Amino acid sequence: MLEKIQTTEKNFKSDLSEVGDLNHLEELRIKYLGRKGLFAILFDEFKQLPNEEKPKYGQTLNRLKIQCQNEFNEIKSKFSETAEDDDKGIDLTLPGRSVNIGTKHILMQTLFQIKSIFKGLGFSVYEGPELESDYNNFEALNFPADHPARDMQDTFFVNENFLFRTHTSPVQVRLMKEKKPPIRAIIPGKVYRNEAISAKSYCLFHQVEGLYIDGNVSFAELKGTLVAFAKQFFGNDVKYRFRPSFFPFTEPSAEVDIWWQPKGKEGRWLEILGCGMVDPNVLENVGIDSEKYTGYAFGMGAERIAMLKYGIGDIRVFFDNDKRFLTQF
């Protein structure tokens, strides 16, 4: 019994010397002085001793327990005083540390604004896959395999039948196959072109397509919709013009320009989007009666829209993740 008491005393002092904080000290208290600790076990064994031996070991065991309790309290007191001194060193009158909160990327802000405007004009928002079939991306949109207009869109082909979409128009094809007119939707998303990267072009950019199919849809409705968008996005005093153009999936087709006048520089017309009346061949390809329904479509690049609105001269800065640029917005 005496050997166990001496071993417990030795181990307690050794463990106490290694205590580093209050949590560790509390673990040590539970180990030795807790209800099921080592001293409780020694006292249980003490009860089993013969009566003639109890006086001999009882005094030693009681003395050791009191001694360990005092040493524990002394160490605990020192830790508590240190913690109080640390608290006294905090100046609660000092201002808090500033926290930089991130913001949405300028492209996401631009896309959100574009979507908000068209949703206010009655358009729903749809999305589709970025990996598309050649049929949806080209053939259904009036791009036959040998059509020279395919050269306008340098393409990343995965294999003979699939590619990374060159525009978001394939989602229009999917939408017209799934839904019956009337259809009024915009389709935002990433598109890919196998182009040389420069200040004005990139292999990846964001596009927003628009589509409206119904009975007796006219070019005048298309014009009214796009003018309303331009005024809401660029301001009521924006100057705009429609120019005849060509797209395989619309006829007639046009491009929309706005007058851009940077401070201290000469003004000029800049294209913001392409548009036109949906070609009857496209309607027939997706199973819509072109004798009964007409429609219009348009498409714009979010990067170009943002560059015009905020005076950004290089498309590459959208993808460089340079905080000096991003924190401006």
pLDDT computed for residue 17 by the predictor: 74
**148: DSSP letter:** G
pLDDT computed for residue 142 by the predictor: 79
Query: In which band, very low, low, confident or very high, does the pLDDT at 259 lie, cut at 50, 70 and 90?
Result: confident
User: Phi/psi of residue 193, each to 5°?
Assistant: -135, 135
Q: Which of 12-21, 42-51, 258-267 has the highest mean pLDDT?
A: 258-267
pLDDT computed for residue 122 by the predictor: 94
pLDDT computed for residue 2 by the predictor: 65
Q: Give the number of other Cβ atoms within 10 Å of residue 4's Cβ.
A: 15
Residue 57, amino acid? Y
Could you give the CA distance from residue 311 to residue 301 in angstroms, rounded to a whole number?
15
Q: Report the range of poorest mean pLDDT among 14-23, 91-100, 272-281.
A: 14-23
Share of the chain above pLDDT 70, in %: 88
What superfamily in CATH does domain 106-326 come from?
Bira Bifunctional Protein; Domain 2 (3.30.930.10)
pLDDT computed for residue 186 by the predictor: 96
Whether residue 149 is predicted with pLDDT greater than 60 in this model: the reply is: no
Pair 214, 247: CB distance under 8 Å? no
Q: What is the pTM of this model?
A: 0.66
End-to-end CA distance of the chain: give it in Å, rounded.
Answer: 77
Whether residue 185 is predicted with pLDDT greater than 80 in this model: the reply is: yes
Q: Which residues pair with 296 in a beta bridge?
A: 212, 277
Whether residue 165 is predicted with pLDDT greater than 80 in this model: the reply is: yes
Whether residue 231 is predicted with pLDDT greater than 90 in this model: the reply is: yes
Listed in order, the ranges of the chain carrying CATH 3.30.930.10 are: 106-326
- Do the strands 183-192 and 124-125 form a parallel or antiparallel pair, or are they unpaired? parallel
Whether residue 289 is predicted with pLDDT greater than 90 in this model: the reply is: yes
Whether residue 281 is predicted with pLDDT greater than 70 in this model: the reply is: yes
Whether residue 41 is predicted with pLDDT greater than 80 in this model: the reply is: no
* 243-254 per-position pLDDT tens digit: 999 988 899 999
Q: Where are the alpha helices (DSSP H) in the chain?
A: 2-17, 22-33, 38-47, 54-88, 106-120, 134-137, 169-178, 219-234, 280-285, 302-310, 323-326
